[in-house]
Chain A
Amino acid sequence: MKPIFEGRIVTVGFALALAILLVVTGLSFRNTRRLTEAREWVAHTYVVTIKLEQVLTRLDEIETGNRGFIITGNDSYLEPYNAALSNIDQDLEELRLLTTDNPSQRNRVARLDGMKATRISTAAQGIRLRREAGFEPARQFVLLGAGKQEMDNIRSLIAEIETVERELLQQRVAEAKAEATKTIVTFSAGLVLSFVLLLLVFYFLRHQIAERRQAEQILIEQKRELTCSQQALFEQTTILHSMLASIGDGVVVSDENGKFLVFNPAAEQILQVGPTDSGIDQWTQTYGIYLPDMVTPYPPHELPLARAIRGESVDAAELFMRHAKVPHGAWLTVTARPIKSDVGLSRGGVAVFSDITERKRAESSIKELNDDLQKQAMQLEAANSELEAFSYSTSHDLRAPLRHLAGYAELLQKNGASKLDENGRRYVTTIVEAARRMGDLIDHLLAFSRLGRAQAERTTVSLQQLVKDAIQDLKEETTDRKVLWKIGSLPSVNADSSLLRLVFNNLLSNALKFTRSRESAEIEIGAATNHNEAVIFVRDNGVGFDMKYADKLFGVFQRLHRAEEFEGTGIGLASVRRIILRHGGRTWAESVVDSGATIYFSLPVETEFHPAGA
């Protein structure tokens, strides 16, 4: 918009300045002509005056000749008279022509002509009288004064014509002067105006030139940038080429007609056939491509690259390739994408592929392994349910005879004691106790086996609260004892609450049990967390154990103390380990004989782990 506007200003400015100059030139031309005319009029007036003088002179000559002849009667005096007579009409005719411009002057000249005729006729009458009647009648005729009167009239008329002519001259000169003044004013104004206009145009032109120069600067800058980006493009192209040449995946790019634009070395190596211009229809045959059934030729227009050219995206399509150069065949996985123009028209497609024959082989061996594993898992499951059936029947069938054993022994103790001696009574007591212990063992064993089968219901569990509850449960065992509980900051974990409670019940009652001989029991429960697990420990100042047997500690029915020292079935820590394993954690222990033991267990910290107090 702006440059157009400015361009118009320049054009209009120049046109105006030119027009003004033209007008001024026209005016000065006209003025000059007027001045020339005025000068001509001056000359004209002089010519008229001279002619009038001439006419007057002729008439004077006529008068003088006439007078001389009348006085002398000598014809020689008539020579000037005759000469004047022959010339005066010529002079008057010239005068008439000179005054055609002004009607009033023309009338006066006409009148002068008439007067001249009268005067000549009067003069001729005098001459005739002199010639015919002699001097005296002629003298009388002159004395009448007719000629003199006529002459005076003529003189007066000529003076009038002269005066009028001079007045006309003065008027014309004045007009010319006024015109000249007006012209000078207009001329000056025109000059000033055109000067201003030219200045304006100059200003705009300069402005435009500056802008153009700026635009040129920008153009130069852009050109330089273009050169730079061309350089970068060239570098990128080089990088792309070396990248395509160096990667292990085959990369081919085809235009929309199936003509290959890119066919990198890996593509040629994998396919064993280079790029051909055979067209999409021939691809299946050229490269020996089959469907995953390995026998049906791939429909050429369903090939990933062909589909990409149609605008579809294909991810990880598997296809089988076999031809003369690859007689045993190879498996390929192909990913293809369309290449589209800015307006979304298909410009071709790109396919990236790799040879997955090895992977396929590995997969099939993994599958075999997997099948084996599955078979084993099924066997394990069968064994497990057998075991379950076993423990179920144990629960019922073993306990019944045991109860009878205990029951009848008790009855014997009660009703037949009098018939038994001291030894007999001790035997019965032993039978009763052994039966009870076996019952305990069976109960614990069943509970332990149930641990493995029960469904773990995971929730967010506050270990702090759990420990508090467990200590509450053990209140009865600590009534007569001095026990110092040290509870550190414990995290919340994602776990089965009742199973974890069992863990703490076992660990804390163990701690109480093995500190029984101490005057003051100190039991510390604490936790340490690292990035992926929470480690919880229960430390006591009890009798401890020999680290030599540390790995036996968590086994079923494994006991490191004699039954007379510390009661128990050897199930507690085994249960702890089983529960912690089910939660994905570990268990271990540290101890120095007679200096207490520390039992550790870890729980994996998943998303739901929160530090205590959070």
Chain B
Amino acid sequence: MSNLKRILLAEDDPRDVELTLVALEEYKLANDVDVVRDGQETLDYLYHRGAFQTRGGNNPAVILLDLKMPKVDGLEVLRSIRGDDTLKMVPVVMVTSSREERDIVESYKLGVNAYVVKPVDFHQFVEAIKQIGAFWAVINEPPPDSARK
């Protein structure tokens, strides 16, 4: 586990969080996941602010970002990340229920690394999350300053 990287999951719905963690657990990745519940918390986490002032480590290896979140939505979070020199290299994957073209287009315009629509079917959902986790947290070589365990 020493070489695994941290995954930041930004998701406001506790059920989605649970189902996502169930999926990631199949690859034993669940313990490497930090969960934030809205856009504001996501930014706090990334900037070591508020509750995360004492957070150790660097940037996460990947951010799984929900589009629709209270306070600050996913697109705004993405815009902030891509506008910040210290954060802009962090891989971001949109994981969302929306298949709206404008959401997809806007996300890619802002520089998202991947866009995944959560399948309604549970098996497909689990499969999708597992693959995202495996790819970004295991297979993909993250930018140099990412958190290492």
Q: Which residues from B are CB-within-8-Å of A404?
A: 13, 15-16, 19
Q: Give, as a whole number of angstroms, the nearest-CB distance from B68 to chain A.
A: 6
In the complex, the answer to whether A436 meets B120 with C-beta atoms within 8 Å is yes
CB <8 Å contact, A395 and B97: yes
Given contacts A396-B68, A400-B13, A400-B16, contact A407 B99 (CB under 8 A): no
Interface residue from A392, A439, A446 paired with B121 (Cβ < 8 Å): A439
Whether B98 lies near A396 (C-beta < 8 A) is: yes
B85 contacts chain A at the CB level, 8 A cutoff: no
Kindly state whether residue B101 has any CB partner on chain A within 8 Å. yes
Question: Does B101 contact A406, Cβ atoms closer than 8 Å?
Answer: no
Q: Is A411 on the interface with B (CB-CB < 8 A)?
A: yes
Q: Write the chain A residue with the least CB distance to B14.
A: A404
Chain A residues within an 8 Å CB radius of B123: 410
* A403 and B97 form a contact (CB under 8 A): yes
| A446-B22 Cα distance, complex, nearest whole Å | 29
Interface size of B as a range? 20 to 34
Contact at B120–A399, with CB atoms within 8 Å? yes
| Complex interface: chain B residues within 8 A of A410 (CB) | 122-123
- Cross-chain contact of B96 among A392, A396, A409, A450 (Cβ < 8 A): A396
B125 at the interface (CB under 8 A from A): yes
Interface pair B122/A407, CB less than 8 Å apart? yes
A411 to chain B: which residues have CB within 8 Å?
22, 122
Q: Chain A residue with minimal CB distance to B120?
A: A439
Does residue A435 face the partner (Cβ distance < 8 Å to B)? yes
User: Once bound together, how far apart are the Cα atoms of A450 and B98, in whole Å?
Assistant: 13
A402 touches B120 (CB 8 A): yes
Which residue on A lies nearest to B99, using beta carbons?
A: A395
Residues of B within 8 A of A399 (CB): 97, 118, 120
Chain B residue at minimal CB-CB distance from A447: B99
- The B57-99 residues at the A interface (CB cut-off 8 A) are 67-68, 96-99
Q: How far is the CA of A107 from the CA of B109 in the complex (A)?
A: 160
State whether the Cβ of A432 lies closer than 8 Å to any Cβ in chain B. yes
Using CB atoms, name the residue of chain B closest to A413.
Answer: B122
B81 → A minimal CB distance (Å): 22
Query: Can you name the residue of chain B whose Cβ is closest to the Cβ of A392?
Result: B100
Using known A-B contacts A402-B120, A439-B120, A439-B121, determine if residue A407 contacts B19 with beta carbons closer than 8 Å: yes
B119 neighbours in A (Cβ, 8 Å): 403, 439
A607 to B3, CA, bound (A): 65
User: Residue of A at shortest CB range from B122?
Assistant: A410
Please report the C-alpha to C-alpha distance between residue A400 and residue B16 in the assembled complex, in whole angstroms. 8
Do A409 and B120 touch (CB < 8 A)? no
Which residues on the B side are within 8 Å of A435 (C-beta)?
A: 120
Candidates A395, A432, A438; contact of B100 at CB < 8 Å: A395
A403–B96 Cα distance when bound, in Å, is 11
Contact A403 B100, beta carbon cutoff 8 Å: no
Contact partners of A436 in chain B: CB under 8 A: 120-121
With the chains together, A289 CA to B51 CA distance in Å?
Answer: 84
Q: What is the CA–CA distance of A399 and B125 in the complex, to the nearest angstrom?
A: 12
Question: Beta-carbon contacts of A427-442 to B below 8 Å, as 1s and 0s?
Answer: 0000010011011001
Which residues on the A side are within 8 Å of B120 (C-beta)?
A: 399, 402-403, 406, 435-436, 438-439, 442-443
**Pair B97/A396 contact, Cβ less than 8 Å:** yes
Contact B122 A432, beta carbon cutoff 8 Å? yes
Set of chain B residues within 8 Å of A403, measured between Cβ atoms: 16, 19, 97, 118-120, 122, 125
Least Cβ–Cβ distance between A251 and chain B, in angstroms:
62
Q: How far is the CA of A402 from the CA of B119 in the complex (A)?
A: 10
Chain A min CB distance to B20 (Å) = 10
CB closest chain-A residue, reference B101: A450
Q: Which residues from chain A contact B125 at a C-beta distance below 8 Å?
A: 403, 406-407
Least distance between B121 CB and chain A CB atoms (Å): 5
Question: Which residues of the other chain, A, contact B96 by a CB distance below 8 angstroms?
Answer: 396
Query: Given the complex, which residues of A lie within 8 Å of B15, measured CB to CB?
Result: 404, 407-408
Q: How far is the CB of B128 from chain A (nearest CB, A)?
A: 11
Q: Which residue of A lies closest to B117 (CB)?
A: A399
In whole angstroms, how far apart are the Cα atoms of A408 and B97 in the complex? Answer: 17
| Structural contact, B22 and A406, CB atoms closer than 8 A | no
Contact B122 A409 (CB under 8 A): yes
- How far, in Å, is B10 (CB) from chain A's closest CB? 15
**C-alpha gap A439/B98 in the complex (Å):** 13
Which chain A residues lie closer than 8 Å to B98 at the CB level? Answer: 392, 395-396
Residue from A407, A408, A411 having most chain B Cβ neighbours under 10 A: A407
A402 CA to B122 CA in the complex, in Å? 10
Q: Which residues of B sit under 8 angstroms from A408, Cβ to Cβ? A: 15, 19
Within B4-53, the residues touching A (CB, 8 Å) are: 13, 15-16, 19, 22
A443 to B100, CA, bound (A): 11
Find chain B residues with CB under 8 A from A400 CB. Answer: 13, 16, 97, 118
Chain B residues numbered 101-136 whose CB sits less than 8 Å from any CB in chain A: 101, 118-123, 125
A417-468 residues with Cβ-Cβ distance < 8 A to B are 432, 435-436, 438-439, 442-443, 446, 450, 454
* Most chain A CB inside 10 Å of its own CB: which residue of B96, B99, B118, B125: B99
Chain A proximity of B114: nearest CB distance (Å): 18
- Given the complex, which residues of A lie within 8 Å of B68, measured CB to CB? 396
**Shortest Cβ distance from A400 into B: residue:** B97
- CB under 8 Å from chain B, chain A span 385-399: 392, 395-397, 399
Docked-complex contact B122 and A406, CB < 8 angstroms:
yes
| A396–B66 CA distance with the chains assembled, in angstroms | 11
CB-nearest residue of chain B relative to A453? B101
Task: Please report the C-alpha to C-alpha distance between residue A418 and residue B31 in the assembled complex, in whole angstroms.
Answer: 28
Q: How many angstroms between the C-alpha atoms of A443 and B98 in the bound complex?
A: 10
Q: List 4 other contacts, CB 8 Å, given A400-B97, A410-B122.
A: A392-B98, A399-B120, A403-B119, A432-B122
16 contacts between A and B (CB under 8 A): A392-B98, A396-B98, A397-B97, A400-B97, A403-B19, A403-B120, A403-B122, A404-B15, A404-B16, A406-B121, A406-B122, A406-B125, A407-B22, A409-B122, A411-B122, A450-B101
10 cross-chain pairs, A with B, having the tightest CB-CB distances, nearest first:
A439-B120, A410-B122, A399-B97, A404-B15, A407-B122, A407-B19, A396-B97, A406-B122, A396-B98, A403-B120
